[in-house]
Structure 1
Amino acid sequence: MGYRLPFVTTIATFLLLIAGALVVGFDAGLACSDWPLCNGHIIPPLEGKIIIEYTHRLLSTGIGFLMLANLYFAWRKRKESPIVLKLVLLSFVLLLFVAVLGGINVLKKLPPGFTAMDTSFAILLFSTFVVLTGVTLANFRKKQGEFREDRQVRAMFKPALIAAIAIYIEYVLGAFIKHSDAGQVWVNGKMNLLNNIISTPAIATTLMYVHVFATLLIVFSSLWLYFYARLRKVMKNQAVTLLILLALQPITGFITVVAHLAVITNVIHMTIAALMMALAVFMVVEAKLGANLLLTADKDSKVVSGSKQSAVNLG
C-alpha cells in the first residue's frame, strides 16, 4: 500500500477538525435538526449556519469513502504489511465512535461533554492516519532503497512520545473547556451558561488553570525533545518547527481571550494544536522505526559521505 492515499486521508481528517471547530464557533451544531438527514433532506437548502454543519457532514462522509479505499488497498497488501491493515481497522473503530457521538449530539441537542468527547476521538482518528502515513512512507522508502536506520533516531522515542501525550491531553482539555462553555463563564462571567458539568464559576476557573498547567507541560516536554534532538543531531528541524508552533499557541490563545473568544482566532488556536499533534505523532513513528522519514536520498547520501569523510580526517 502506498503512502499517498493515507496522506490524502490525513489532510481530509485535518480539514474535518477545522470544520468541526467552525461548527462549534458559529454555534451551528443544531443547524441540522436531525441525523443522518439534515432537516429531513439529503441535500438541504444551503443557507446560513446550515452550510457550515452540512459541509462538516459531507467531509465526514468523504472521509468514510477514503477509509474504504484505504481498507481495500490495506487488505490487498495485508501479508506484506499486517500493521497497515490493523491501523486502518482501528481508524474504522474511531470513525464509528465519532459518528455515533455526532449523532447523539444532534439527537440529544448537544448534551454537555459529548461534543468534547467527539473531538477527542476525532483527533485520535487524525493521529491514526498520521501514523499510517508514516508507516506506509517508511515501506515505500524501503522499496526504493532510501530507508536509513539510525540508532540516534530511535533514542528520540521517549521524549517524542511524552510530547505527543502532553499535546493530546491539552487538546482534550481545550476542547472540553470550549464545548462545555467553561471558557465563556471564566472570561465573560456568563452565569446563564452554567450546566450540570460546569455548575459553578469555581469549576470553570479550575479547568482554565488546569489547561494552563497542561500547556506548561507541553512547553517542558517540547523543550526536552528539542534539546534531545540537538544532542543526538537528528530531527532538529522537526523539533524546531514544533517549538515555533508552540510559541504561536499562547499568542492565539491570548488573542482569543482578549477578543472574548472570537471564532477565527479560536479556530486558528485549535488548528495549531492539531498541527502540533500531527508533528509529534509523526516524530514518534520515526523514532519507533528508527529513521528520519523526511530526509531525501540525496541528504542521506551526504550524511553518510560526511561521516565517512570525518572518519578519514580523524584517521
Structure 2
Amino acid sequence: MKNKFSLFTVLMTIVALIIGNLVVATNSGDACGSDWPKCNGTFFPNITNGQILVEYSHRIFTTLLGFVILLNAIFAWFQLRKKKTKWLAVLSFFLLGLQSIVGGLNVLLGTPVGFTFFDVTVSLLLLISVIDLHYALVNQDGVAAIKQGKSSFFKSANFILLFIMLETLIGAIFKHPRFSKLLYGNYTGEVLINSRVLAQFLYFVHGFLGLALVLTTAYLMFLAFKTNQYRFRLSLLVAALVITTFFGFLTNALQLSPAASSFHMIFTIISISIAASISARERLRV
C-alpha cells in the first residue's frame, strides 16, 4: 500500500506539472487575478471562460497535491528504515513549502515577467524528489534492486538526468522571460532583457542540447540492450526525447504556437520523469 501511495503521488505531481504547463501556454496565469484561494473574488468563477477554467483547475489540483505530498512525506518518514533515505521525506516537504511560497508570490505579484521560471524549476525539483522517495521505498522492500551495489548505469543515469534538467532549464529561461518572442519581429510587449542576440543564443543552446541529449540517450539504449538493463525505459526515453525535439522545432516554425509549445513541455516532463526513475533506482539501491 505504501508504495502505491507514493506512486500515486508521483503521478499526481506529473499531472500538476502538465496542467501548469497549460496555464503558461494559454496565458491563463492572470485569469483569476491576485485572489487566492478564490478566483476573481469567488469560489465559483465563470468556468465558461477557457482561461479561468485552466487557471482555477490548476489552483484546485495543486492544493490537493500539496496535501498528498505532505501525507506521502509523513508516511515515508515512518516507513523508511535508513537515515540516509529518511532525508528524502524532509526534502520533499521542504520543496513543497518552497513551491507554495513561489506559487503564492507569482499570484500576488501578478505573474511578473520571468518569475514563472522559478515556479517551473522548483516544480521539477519537487517531481524528482517524490520519484526519489518512491524508489527509496521500493528498493527498501527489495522489489527494484536487481543486485547489491551500483550497476554500470549508475554514472550514466545521473548524467542523463542532469543533462535533461540543464536543457529544460535553459529552455525555461528562453521561454518564461519571453526571450522566445524576440525571435519574431512583430512582438512589442514586455520582455526581461530586450536582446534579440541573447534570444537567438539561448534558442541555439537549447536546441543543440536537445539534439545531443537524443544521441546520448540513444547510445545508452544500445548499452541497455547489450547489458539487458533498462531496455524498456530507455526506449521510452528516446521516444519521448525525439517527440520533444520535434515539437520544439514545430513551436518555432509556428511562431510559438500554444498547442505545439504545450506538447513540447508535456513530453519534456515525461522525459524528466523517466530519466529520474532510472537515476533514482540506481542511486537508491539497498
* TM-score, with length taken from structure 1: 0.82
CA distance in 2, matches of 1:150, 1:255: 44
The offset of 1:43, in angstroms, is 4.0
Q: Which residue number in structure 1 is paired with residue 56 of structure 2?
A: 54
Q: Larger radius of gyration, structure 1 or 2?
A: 1
CA distance in 2, matches of 1:201, 1:276: 29
The offset of 1:72, in angstroms, is 3.1
Matched, 1:148 2:149: no
Q: Is the 8 A contact 1:98 1:121 kept in 2?
A: yes
From 170, 188, 193, the equivalent of 1:173 is: 170
Q: Which residue number in structure 1 is paired with residue 73 of structure 2?
A: 71
Alignment of 1:161-310 (within 5 A): 161-186=158-183, 188-195=184-191, 197-290=192-285
* Amino acid in structure 2 at the alignment position of 1:63: L
CA distance in 2, matches of 1:226, 1:290: 21
CA distance in 2, matches of 1:251, 1:221: 17
* TM-score, with length taken from structure 2: 0.90
The offset of 1:193, in angstroms, is 2.9
Q: Is the 8 A contact 2:135 2:284 kept in 1?
A: no
CA distance in 2, matches of 1:127, 1:159: 17
Q: How well do the aligned residues superpose, as a CA RMSD in angstroms?
A: 2.2
Q: Is the 8 A contact 1:35 1:107 kept in 2?
A: yes
**Structure 2 vs 1, CA of residues 289 and 101 (structure 1 numbering), >3 Å: closer, same or farther?**
closer
Alignment of 1:17-166 (within 5 A): 17-37=17-37, 38-48=39-49, 49-78=51-80, 80-142=81-143, 147-149=145-147, 154-166=151-163
Instruction: Give unpaired runs (5+ residues) of structure 2.
Output: none
Report the count of equivalent residues: 284
The offset of 1:182, in angstroms, is 1.7
* Amino acid in structure 2 at the alignment position of 1:228: L
SS at match of 1:109: coil
User: What is the CA deviation profile of residues 2-36 of structure 1, one whole-angstrom value per residue up to 9, with x for unaligned ones?
Assistant: 21111111111111111111111111101111142
Q: Is the 8 A contact 1:166 1:221 kept in 2?
A: no
* Amino acid in structure 2 at the alignment position of 1:178: K
Q: Is the 8 A contact 1:155 1:287 kept in 2?
A: no
CA distance in 2, matches of 1:174, 1:29: 19
The offset of 1:289, in angstroms, is 4.1
SS at match of 1:193: coil
CA distance in 1, matches of 2:236, 2:187: 40
Does 90-99 or 68-77 show the bigger shift? 68-77
Identity across the alignment (%)? 28
Q: Which residue number in structure 2 is paired with residue 13 of structure 1?
A: 13
Q: Is the 8 A contact 1:131 1:285 kept in 2?
A: yes
**Structure 2 vs 1, CA of residues 147 and 105 (structure 1 numbering), >3 Å: closer, same or farther?**
closer
Which stretches of structure 1, 4 residues or longer, exceed 4 Å deviation after superposition? Answer: none
**Structure 2 vs 1, CA of residues 190 and 42 (structure 1 numbering), >3 Å: closer, same or farther?**
same
CA distance in 2, matches of 1:290, 1:81: 12
SS at match of 1:40: coil
Q: Is the 8 A contact 1:252 1:268 kept in 2?
A: yes
**Structure 2 vs 1, CA of residues 4 and 81 (structure 1 numbering), >3 Å: closer, same or farther?**
farther
